[in-house]
Amino acid sequence: MVALRRPLQTDLPSVVAWYRDPEIARLTRYQTRQMTQAEIERFFQVRMLAPDALAYSIVELPSKRFIGFTTFSALDGDNGSVMFHITIGEQDAWGRGLGTEATQLMLHHAFDRLGLHRVGLSVFSYNTRAIRAYEKAGFRIEGRLREAIQRQGSYFDEVQMGILADEWVAAQYGTAATDGDADRSFVDEVVASR
């Protein structure tokens, strides 16, 4: 079980360790070169700690151990869309459904709290574990950027996925959902999974 909380400055050492991990870079970053300390700190300040950042730290319950982070970017209020990102940095947390839980919490935030219409994401085609987790959370494959990523001399597709508000509502509350069904609370300090 996971919860989301606002990022803390004390999260930075874990983020530095994760971004220096070659396997995490292979799965989540376009470039495989190691990021410098300054680059990681800049990312952390701008994408995680900025007052207007839509970023959350993922903690495992009941211990509240920091295991990853999740963010929204490219918020387009005119069209009701946003891009979703997630990194589970602690490898012993992989394959346990914790990323799927965190994804569902973020989708609740996007659709039930922010009133968005669409959430999209990009994932590398060789990251099959992530693709399965996104599909389990309700995302659908919408397209591919063919051979957009090169790893160890081979090219791989970048898979585009998305989920719409009505798909989220139908999956969560059934097709006959009422407005009252969608009135669940989202607490910025800690959001426990269902």
Q: Which residue has the higher pLDDT, 32 or 189?
A: 32
Taking residues 142-166, what's their average pLDDT?
A: 95
185 Cβ partners below 8 Å, 6+ apart? none
Give the pLDDT confidence score for residue 27 in this predicted structure: 82
- pLDDT bin (cut points 50, 70, 90) of residue 175 is low
Q: Does domain 2-181 have CATH number 3.40.50.2000?
A: no
Give the pLDDT confidence score for residue 185 in this predicted structure: 34
Taking residues 144-154, what's their average pLDDT?
A: 93
Taking residues 42-61, what's their average pLDDT?
A: 92
Q: How far apart are CA 14 and CA 3, in angstroms?
A: 17
Q: How would DSSP label each residue in the chain? A: -EEEE---GGGHHHHHHHHT-HHHHHHH-S--SPPPHHHHHHHIIIIIISTT-EEEEEEETTTTEEEEEEEEEEEETTTTEEEEEEEE--GGGTTTTHHHHHHHHHHHIIIIIS--SEEEEEEETT-HHHHHHHHHHT-EEEEEEEEEEEETTEEEEEEEEEEEHHHHHHHHH-TT--GGGG-----SS-EE--
Taking residues 38-65, what's their average pLDDT?
A: 92
Residue among 28, 23, 185, 40 at smallest CA distance from 92: 23
- pLDDT bin (cut points 50, 70, 90) of residue 33 is confident
Determine contact, residues 120/160, Cβ cutoff 8 Å.
Answer: yes
The one-letter amino acid at 18: W
Taking residues 65-93, what's their average pLDDT?
A: 94
Q: Which residue has the higher pLDDT, 21 or 177?
A: 21
Give the pLDDT confidence score for residue 51 in this predicted structure: 86
Q: What is the pLDDT of residues 58-76, one digit of tens each?
A: 999 999 999 999 999 999 9
So where are the chain's domains? 2-181
Give the pLDDT confidence score for residue 194 in this predicted structure: 43
Q: Which residue has the higher pLDDT, 18 or 188?
A: 18
Handedness of CA 101, 133, 6, 117 (dihedral sign): negative
Q: What is the mean pLDDT of the chain?
A: 87
